[in-house]
Amino acid sequence: MPAGNRLLAPILLDGAVASQMINQGIDPFRDRLSRDIRNDLSESLLTCLTQRQLTAAQAVAARYLTNDPAPCYAAYIHDRLDRYARFLAMVAGGPADVVWQGLALWDLGLFFEVHEILEQAWLRSCGADKIFLQALIRAAGVYIKRECGFYDAAAKMAAKAIPVLAANRHRLAVYTDPKRLLTALDSATEKPPLLLS
């Protein structure tokens, strides 16, 4: 196997071990390398989505993996590549609807990437569409904050998202059961619900 491909070979770990490694040391709010890896990979996902292939994310991953990062960073990178590949497979068979794409990312636990994808549409929108997209971005932000232990910030973000999403139940109902999302956002302990399943 060529050296470049070895870098992208998945790390085979027990699920619990992989999860622990990914969560230990990866803190984009306090660690610059974590933030850079997360941001660069998530930005590359926009290109992957346009091109319908993983090449852009693989290039970003290779750039970081070449430097032989700590195991937590490598596990995070491989995990993201795996989930990005699953997202692209979902998109290949799904609608070209940005909200649907955001919810597909949500179901894969890619909350920062939900923000990245929806933000592009939010920047081009106005009026009720802009407010609805902002509420979905904030809903994803709730789980980004919770993952890093920022529960007060998550609660404040949820308080801003919930009324808008509640007022737009009809828009959410096209994709998911609005009550499932609203209940989870309102609960500080509720795990993120699957929205397209």
End position of a domain, from candidates 57, 73, 93: 93
End position of a domain, from candidates 93, 120, 146: 93
Task: Output the pLDDT for position 6.
Answer: 41
The verdict on 114 and 61 lying in the same domain is no
CA-to-CA separations, 88 to 20, 62, 118, in angstroms, rounded = 25, 19, 16
Instruction: Give dist(CA 97, CA 46) in Å, integer.
Output: 14
Over the chain (197 residues), the average pLDDT of each successive run of 10 is: 43 39 74 97 97 97 97 97 97 92 97 96 96 98 93 96 98 96 90 92
CB 45 within 8 A of CB 84: yes
The verdict on 114 and 196 lying in the same domain is yes
Domain enclosing residue 85, as ranges:
1-93
End position of a domain, from candidates 44, 61, 93: 93
Task: Output the pLDDT for position 9.
Answer: 43
Return the CATH number at 111. Answer: 1.10.3450.10
Task: Output the pLDDT for position 23.
Answer: 53
